[in-house]
Each structure stands twice: as structure tokens, then as C-alpha cells.
């Protein structure tokens, strides 16, 4: 069973607010990923990390930022939420490129 957790599961927030989406895993995985899901269920990579203190932007441009201070924790922050940020955000982790990735349950964000 996957030990990767995202909080909150659902969030409704006003425009301009700062928010942090949490992602934690207890599997000791070095690689962690954040994806944004479009309405057609396609997953777009917005951030990834190889390990502590290493973060990279993904293919999809995003106004969010991430940090990786501890192996188990990979939070995503939006400094000023906008309605265009309304989406489902999925976090994943894997031990290596040759092993499967495990996904959290997702955070459904609505910015009003």
C-alpha cells in the first residue's frame, strides 16, 4: 500500500490568498513530482525533485513554487491564488526511474 499523503483533499479559497498544498511520503523515495490535472484527466508535470535541496520546473509553466528540505516532504505553494489555478493537483514519488511511482489522493483546489 502506498504511503504518500496529500492535504488538504479539498480547498476553496479566495483570489489573492497564499496557499500551501502538502505532500508527504514515508517510503524514503528520492524522486517526487507534482502534477496538475486538466479537465480531460491529462497529467501535466509542474515540478519535480531528485532529492533534498534539488527542485526543477516541469514541462507546464506554473506560478507555483516548491521546496524539498526533507526527503519525505514536498510542499507546493501559490503566493497569490487566482481562478486560473483551479484544478486537481497530484503528488507522486518513486525510488528510481526503473520503479513504479506512487500517487497521493490529490488536492482539488477551487479559487473563487
Site of interaction with another protein (CB under 8 A): 2, 31, 33, 35, 40-45, 48, 50, 56, 58-59, 90, 92, 94, 97-106
Q: In angstroms, what is the minimal distance from the CB of 95 to another protein?
A: 11
Of residues 80 and 99, the one with the C-beta less far from another protein: 99
Beta strands in the chain (DSSP E): 4-7, 10-13, 19-25, 31-37, 43-51, 54-57, 65-66, 76-78, 87-94, 102-103, 107-111
- CA angle in degrees (0–180, nearest 5) for 44-68-43: 10
β-strands 87-94, 31-37 pairing: antiparallel
Q: In angstroms, what is the minimal distance from the CB of 39 to another protein?
A: 12
Of residues 19 and 93, the one with the C-beta less far from another protein: 93
Of residues 59 and 83, the one with the C-beta less far from another protein: 59
Amino acid at each position: 500500500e502506498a504511503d504518500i499523503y496529500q492535504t488538504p483533499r479539498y480547498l476553496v479559497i479566495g483570489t489573492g490568498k497564499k496557499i500551501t498544498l502538502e505532500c508527504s511520503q514515508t517510503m524514503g523515495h528520492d524522486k517526487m513530482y507534482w502534477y496538475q490535472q486538466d479537465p480531460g484527466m491529462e497529467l501535466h508535470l509542474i515540478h519535480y525533485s531528485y532529492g533534498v535541496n534539488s527542485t526543477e520546473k516541469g514541462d507546464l509553466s506554473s506560478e507555483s513554487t516548491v521546496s524539498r528540505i526533507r526527503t519525505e516532504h514536498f510542499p507546493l505553494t501559490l503566493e497569490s491564488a487566482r481562478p486560473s489555478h483551479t484544478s486537481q493537483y497530484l503528488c507522486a514519488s518513486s525510488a528510481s526511474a526503473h520503479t513504479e511511482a506512487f500517487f497521493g489522493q490529490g488536492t482539488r483546489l477551487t479559487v473563487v
